[in-house]
Amino acid sequence: MATVLIVSPHPDDEVLGAGGYIKKRSKAGDRIVVLTVSGHLPPLYPPGVYQKTLAEAKEAHKILGVAESVYLEIPATQVHTTPVHELNGKIAAAVAKYRPQTVLCPYPDRHIDHRAVFDSALVATRPVGQGVCVEMLAAYETLSETHWNAPHIEPNFTPTWVVDISAEMDAKAVALACFASQIAEFPHPRSVEAARALAMFRGTQAGFSYGEGFHVIRMRS
């Protein structure tokens, strides 16, 4: 049994970016751990908001077969003001505890929390110390935020790895639909239809019906 660690800035990013892959690997008998760093917490959001999203995430994780869900509960937009060694330490601790072969992190994009999480995930998975267990480190795309990076000023997502999720597309759509507080109606950029269109685009360009694209950062074999 292999272990996959998905580092997610906020509840729903892991499903947007890797919901199909999570389902595929959990069906194959692998252990999936989702580490969610932040959320819509006070003081910027009223107390109930996060609880609602958390409940949605739990439902989605159940559908996808997530084995363990860990929540760091740092308030949204404050991830980058958390002391760097502290955030790095928490993600490194998860790597040390679960010893994943595969780690997926967010692509650094328009959402400042995504950048901070990307930075810490990169440090925690360096190929020294606890990081030597990691055979694949890749970044997933987060619908809308990733595609709002400034073209040709900031990095722009182009996948180097596409996973066939044709058999998992429906489960991903159902899991996404759990996030009633986050996912809106088409033509919203973060709708189930938009997610399905992206998956069809990524998939067909790689020879599949539906796919999820990743940017391979460091593969070791």
Binding site for a copy of itself (CB under 8 A): 44, 77, 80, 83-85, 107-108, 110, 112, 118-119, 122-123, 126-128, 131-132, 139, 143-144, 147-148, 150-156, 158-164, 166, 186-189, 191, 193-194, 196-198, 200-201, 203-209, 215-221
Strand order in the sheet with 136-140: 68-75, 31-39, 3-8, 102-106, 136-140
Looking at the Cβ atoms of 10 and 70, the one nearer to a copy of itself is: 10
In the bound state with a copy of itself, the residue whose beta carbon lies nearer, of 180 and 216, is: 216
Interacting residues of 213 by C-beta distance below 8 A, sequence separation 6+: 140, 141, 157, 159, 161, 162, 202, 206
- Let me know: does 124 contact 130? Beta carbons within 8 Å: yes
> In terms of CB distance, is 3 or 191 closer to a copy of itself?
191
Q: What's the closest the beta carbon of residue 108 comes to a copy of itself, in angstroms?
A: 6
Shortest separation between residue 88's beta carbon and a copy of itself, angstroms: 8
Strand positions, DSSP E, 15-134: 31-39, 68-75, 102-106
Q: By C-beta, is 56 or 109 nearer to a copy of itself?
A: 109
Q: Which residues pair with 91 in a beta bridge?
A: none
What is the CB-side half-sphere exposure of residue 214 using CA atoms within 13 A?
A: 26
* C-beta of 11 vs 108, nearer to a copy of itself: 108
Q: How far is the CB of 160 from a copy of itself (least distance, A)?
A: 5
**DSSP β-bridge partners for residue 23:** none
Report the alpha-carbon distance of residue 92 to residue 123 in Å, rounded: 8
Least Å distance between CB 132 and a copy of itself? 5
In the complex, minimum distance from the CB of residue 117 to a copy of itself, in angstroms, rounded to a whole number: 13
User: 60 or 87, CB closer to a copy of itself?
Assistant: 87
Strand locations in 129-176, DSSP E?
Answer: 136-140, 161-164
Least distance from a copy of itself to the Cβ atom of residue 202, Å:
9
